[in-house]
């Protein structure tokens, strides 16, 4: 029964500090439906800082917004540093000036920059409002910042590319860009349908392209190129098909919390379930509440939600490690 009624806090926090953004990328909800976004309230921020971060070992700043726009970012980073919480941020790098880069690096942050293309015209076609040259200038700070850090500092930079019909032929250029800029990894994530309108989805997705021999040949060549350069390239392809289960239980409902800018609480960014709102309830009553315990109980007996069956997160029930 302790499995269902844990008296512990989650080890991993994923925070959407804001769902506002200065970009309108064609791959993202911000491009569609007049999605304005909101900032995490001070009350929720205080719960995160005083109650959740002290118990956490890992904090990831992501969600459908740009964390560097959030006023209280510095407080969150200081709290992560104080409690030696491993820090990860996913950012467009549009606002990542030298000062912010230093602040993140000093907190030993893993900085993941969303690039989508190393070619200006493609980048600006996808990342609407984005200025390729100024983002490249920001990324360039990394070399100087990295060199100014103590040798035992664990901060590192990676690039995330969302692969769609507009950029999948540019993978080699992206690898070269990542290497030149001192990135440790290039993550290539296949575009997912989240909140994209139907006609845009039809023109951007890779569902048909993926089935062709040419695509498979291209991916094999790109993998060989990365290997030859001794560079870490990680693909994350999408599937709607139920995957084979690699384990019976995912740790998310017990160990992982996702807090949205609205204060809504879930256990990951995949499962479309909200278990409560931190603007209305305290954390304990959500984390140990009936709705989340019911979700845990279902998972414990192998009655998985549909999204769990196609989960693409590394620790989900369909993944190896
Ligand atoms: C929503 S963004 C938020 C952080 C920040 N604004 C950024 O762009 O890096 C988080 C990550 O999701 C990726 N992303 C956005 N739309 C996506 C989609 N339709 N499919 C897969 N990944 C997507 C972004 O490229 C980014 O790497
Ligand atoms: S920068 Fe990030 S949050 Fe903003 S529109 Fe692009 S993908 Fe979405
Ligand atoms: S299996 Fe995937 S979708 Fe389900 S709870 Fe775990 S991380 Fe979330």
What are 50-82's pLDDT values in tens digits? 999 999 999 999 999 999 999 999 999 999 999
Minimal-distance CA residue to ligand 3 atom 3: 308
Task: Specify the ligand 3 atom closest to the Cα of 308.
Answer: 4
Judged against a pLDDT cut of 90, whether residue 268 lies above it is answered with yes
- How far is the centre of ligand 3, averaged over its atoms, from the C-alpha of 248 (Å)? 11
Distance 318 CA to ligand 2 centre (A): 27
Instruction: Report pLDDT digits (tens) over 24-43.
Output: 999 998 888 777 899 999 99
- The answer, yes or no, to whether any atom of ligand 2 lies below 6 A from the CB of 24, is yes
CA distance 296 to 6: 10
Per residue in 214-259, pLDDT (tens digit) is 999 999 999 999 999 999 999 988 776 666 777 788 999 999 999 9
Digit-coded pLDDT (tens) for 285-316: 999 999 999 999 999 999 988 888 888 787 88
From the CB of 25, is ligand 2 less than 6 Å away?
yes
The chain-wide mean pLDDT, for the chain, equals 93
Ligand 1 centre distance from Cα of residue 4 (Å): 33
The full 3-state SS of the chain, as one line of letters, equals: CCCCCCCCCCCEEEECCECCCCCCCCCCHHHCCCCCCCECCHHHHHHHHHHHHHHCCEEEECCCCCHHHCCCHHHHHHHHHHCCCEEEEEECCCCCCHHHHHHHHHCCCEEEEECCCCCHHHHHHHCCCCCHHHHHHHHHHHHHHHHHCCCCCCCEEEEEEEECCCCHHHHHHHHHHHHHCCCCEEEEEECCCCCCCHHHHHHHCCCCHHHCHHHHHHHHHHHHHHHHCCCEEEEECCCCCCCCCCCCCCCHHHHEEEECCCCEEECCCCCCCCCEECCCCCHHHHHCCHHHHHHHHHHHCCCCCHHHHCCCCCCCCCCCC
pLDDT value at position 245? 77
Q: pTM to 2 decimals?
A: 0.94
For residue 22, the CA-to-ligand 3 centroid distance in Å is 30
Residues with CB under 6 A from ligand 3: 250, 252-253, 267-268, 270-271, 307-308, 311, 313, 316-317
183 CA distance to ligand 2 centroid (A)? 20
In this structure, the residues whose C-beta lies within 6 A of any atom of ligand 1 are 21, 27-28, 62, 64, 66, 90-92, 114, 160, 162, 189, 191-192, 194, 196
């Amino acid at each position: 029964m302790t499995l269902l009624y844990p008296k512990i806090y989650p080890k991993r926090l994923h925070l959407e500090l804001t769902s506002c953004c200065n970009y309108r990328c064609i791959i993202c909800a911000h491009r569609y439906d007049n999605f304005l976004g909101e900032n995490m309230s001070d009350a929720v921020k205080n719960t995160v800082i005083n109650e959740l971060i002290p118990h956490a070992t890992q904090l990831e700043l992501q969600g459908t917004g740009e964390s560097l726009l959030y006023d209280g970012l510095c407080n969150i980073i200081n709290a992560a540093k104080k409690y030696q919480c491993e820090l990860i941020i996913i950012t467009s790098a549009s606002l990542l000036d030298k000062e912010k880069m230093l602040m993140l690096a000093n907190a030993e942050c893993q900085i993941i920059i969303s690039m989508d293309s190393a070619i200006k015209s493609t980048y600006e076609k996808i990342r609407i409002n984005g200025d390729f040259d100024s983002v490249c200038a920001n990324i360039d700070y990394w070399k100087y910042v990295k060199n100014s850090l103590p040798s035992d500092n664990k901060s590192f930079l990676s690039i995330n590319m969302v692969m769609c019909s507009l950029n999948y032929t540019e993978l080699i250029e992206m690898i070269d860009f990542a290497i030149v800029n001192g990135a440790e990894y290039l993550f290539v994530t296949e575009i997912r349908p989240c909140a994209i309108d139907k006609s845009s989805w039809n023109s951007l997705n890779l569902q048909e392209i993926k089935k062709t021999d040419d695509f498979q040949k291209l991916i094999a060549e790109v993998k060989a190129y990365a290997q030859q350069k001794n560079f870490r390239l990680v693909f994350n392809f999408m599937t709607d098909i139920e995957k084979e289960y690699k384990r019976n239980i995912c740790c998310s409902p017990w160990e992982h919390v996702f807090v949205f800018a609205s204060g809504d609480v879930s256990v990951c960014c995949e499962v479309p379930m909200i278990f409560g709102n931190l603007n209305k309830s305290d954390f304990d009553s959500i984390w140990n509440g009936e709705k989340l315990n019911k979700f845990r109980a279902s998972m414990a007996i192998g009655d998985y939600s549909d999204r769990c069956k196609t989960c693409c997160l590394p620790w989900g029930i369909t993944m190896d490690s």
